[in-house]
Structure 1
Amino acid sequence: MSAETHHGDGHAHADGKQHGAAHDHDHGHGGHSHGVAADADRRWLTIALALIVVYMAAEVVVGLLAHSLALLSDAAHMLTDAASIVLALVAMRLSARPARGGFTYGLKRAEILSAQANGITLLLLSVWLGYEAVRRLISPPAVTGGPVLVTALVGVVVNVAAAWCISRANRTSLNVEGAFQHILTDLYGFIATAVAGLVVLTTGFSRADAIASLVVVVLMLKAGTGLVRESGRIFLEAAPAGIDPDALGDRLVSRPNVVEVHDLHVWQITSGQPALSAHILVEPDEDCHAVRRDMEDVLREEYGITHATLQVDHAPEQILALIPPGARHADGGDGGHCADAHGPVHRDEPHEH
């Protein structure tokens, strides 16, 4: 392809010429990864951490005295709550560091590591608590209902306050959401424990304590599975939830003067920061820069993607000759562009411009 067919100013192709462009690279999406907003997030999480640590210590004491597995399991869960908030705070610090050296995105995915760790701890803890609850269902120990009820009711108040604090932070961050899910499942667990304490106090049915623990286990499994799944999608470079890459490719190739879209990749750098790259071929005599600007507008306005890297070239004659009507989504390998196209090739049907 001759030098005249190359447009753009962002990326070097294999032949040494410059192609494409990357615009609107705003790495501070939502304003929660730096500055005043990040300080506010850390402050809210620190308040929640203080509430949880103080109450957790009191709960362990009461749980041991009352022989309540439900209270001890709640205390254990609160320990992971505290750990999850500490982990979230550390991850927020790391992700705020600027990109340098080999970390070209900085350490933004430290937050995703934190979210995945929170999800895994929820799953592991649910296995242990499930085993203990089943064991106590079979052979229930004596449980003192009064202290269990009072402690659980106080726990509801503490967890409501902690959950409110964390909800004030940026929950679009999977990292903060991981800490919030820990607190939320603990809140539900305290409600179940309070009910169990009331049942034991009024009826003497000791197995209610173990049943309450099983309710907490189910909630832990649900929250942990969600966190592991969402963090795994980001690590595996899956498309953000709600974005269909094939539909996105069709949308881009339908724009005026666009002939083909291939090597289309869409992923998330971290929570709330989608990114996209693609190779775009346009009609031989059209303005590549105008096409690129049009596509960036579509990506920003319709998909919320502001971190887009587009390599835009004029389509060679052999590509134009290969496009029959209705040829979208043909596999790559027809020659004339990238030697190894990744994923489907989106082609526009012949139309008047």
Structure 2
Amino acid sequence: MHDHAHPPGIRGASSRRLLTISLCLTATIMLVQVVGGVLTGSLALLADAAHMFTDASALVIALIASAVAARPADDRRTFGYQRAEVFGALINAIILIVLAAVVAIEGVSRLLDPADAEVAGGLMLVVAVIGLVANGISMWLLSAAQRTNINVRGAYLEVLGDLIGSAAVIVAAFVIIVTGWMPADAIASLFIAAMIVPRAVTLLREVFSVLAESAPKGMTVADIRAHLLAMDGVTGVHDVHVWQLTRGAPVFTAHVGVAPELMEQGRSAVLLARLQECLADHFDVAHSTFQLEPDDAARCEQTHA
């Protein structure tokens, strides 16, 4: 006995629209930064442009994964294609790690062998401010959606990194304008590389948690069992499993012992509805499966488990 309803989420047109808008902003600012980096000789601007190029690629992956995830379930993929979001997020994380290594190598190389060309701090500052504003807009657009969609979460983290990177470039530009100290540009590049790593690790941990079918963060089997056992007619709860298909899409299964008099009165269907409502209301689990068993059978099964 189970509930076939799936969580509405935001894996449809709304999610893809937000990602598309963010992609357009990211690609535009990336081109501006590339031109600015070439004209100013700023490694930090080029590093930030490379970061945004990676983000643009990640957003394309996110859009593709979002579209795939929206496909309905079929006889072979009975849960649908929502896991596509997880694989897209995994690719994003790997790209971030590669990017961090490349930027770090280039930054150290610039410090060890400073370039002769001067960095034009004024133009560098203008381009960085434009990037900061655009990234702020993208973050605002994605802020709500990223709470329930792992792929949008990845895009949100990348835009956050871009915003911080733009702020670092602004600081470096000010230092160059005020003091003329050119190594500030390379140091900003190393900062960008350093801040990428924690973001990638965080995203990887969430991806592996989903793929390992761990219980969603903040959800414990003990709490769920206590809620179910508090319901009239429930004598036992065992063989409990809770995992998530992707962020915001938890799945729950359990065997539930039922009092004999309740089953004799034919009230099992009413209890099933209450169990499903309990999971949906208290734990935001829209897809739950319960096997209702007579109290004696449940006790026997628990003994031999």
TM-score, normalization: structure 2? 0.89
Q: Which runs of 5+ in 2 are unaligned?
A: none
Deviation at 1:317? 7.0
**2-side partners of 1:272 and 1:189: how far apart?**
29
Partner of 1:191: 167
Match of 2:301 among 330, 337, 340: 337
CA contact (8 A) 1:22 1:310 kept: yes
1:164 and 2:140 matched = yes
- Please say which structure displays the higher CA radius of gyration: 1
2:25 and 2:281 map into 1 onto residues whose CA distance is 41
Look up the SS of the partner of 2:261 in the other structure. Answer: coil
CA contact (8 A) 1:278 1:309 kept: yes
SS at match of 2:72: coil
Q: Contact (CA 8 Å) 1:44, 1:168: kept in 2 or not?
A: no
User: How is 1:244-259 mapped onto 2 (pairs within 5 angstroms)?
Assistant: 244-259=220-235
Q: CA deviation at 1:340?
A: 6.8
Q: What is the CA–CA distance in structure 2 between the aligned matches of 1:266 and 1:44, rounded to whole Å?
A: 30
In 2, Cα distance between the equivalents of 1:260 and 1:169?
A: 38
| Percent identity of equivalent pairs | 38
Q: Which residue of structure 1 lines up, in the alignment, with residue 8 of structure 2?
A: 29
- CA distance in structure 1 between the aligned counterparts of 2:257 and 2:172, rounded to whole angstroms: 66
Instruction: Report SS of the residue matched to 2:245.
Output: strand
Q: CA separation in 1, counterparts of 2:21 and 2:273?
A: 45
Separation in 2 of the partners of 1:225 and 1:39? 29
Say if 1:279 and 1:28 are closer, same or farther in 2 by CA, change over 3 A: closer
Distance 1:161 1:250 in 2: 44
Counterparts of 2:146 and 2:177, CA distance in 1: 41
**Post-superposition shift, 1:45?**
2.2
State which of 256, 275, 289 in structure 1 corresponds to 2:251. 275
Matching of residue 120 in structure 1 with residue 94 in structure 2: yes
After TM superposition, the score normalised by the length of structure 1 is 0.78
Structure 1 residues 205 and 90 mapped into 2: Cα distance closer, same or farther (>3 Å)? same
Q: Which residue of 2 aligns with 1:63?
A: 37
Letter paired with 1:164: W
> Shift of residue 22 of structure 1?
0.7
Contact 2:22 2:138 in 1 (8 A): yes
More helix per residue: 2
Q: Which residue in the other structure is 2:287 paired with?
A: 307
How far apart, in 2, do the equivalents of 1:152 and 1:140 lie?
22
SS in 2 for 1:65: helix
RMSD: 2.2
Q: Give CA-to-partner distance per residue, 1:59-114, whole Å, 9 cap, x none.
A: 22331333322111101111011111111111111011111131111111111111
* 1:339 CA drift (Å): 8.9
Distance 2:236 2:7 in 1: 32
Q: Structure 1: which 5+ residue stretches go unaligned?
A: 1-20, 320-335, 342-353
Question: Which position in structure 1 is the counterpart of 2:66?
Answer: 92
The ranges of structure 1 where at least 4 consecutive aligned residues each deviate by more than 4 angstroms after the TM superposition are: 168-171
Tell me the distance in 2 between the aligned counterparts of 1:261 and 1:247. 12
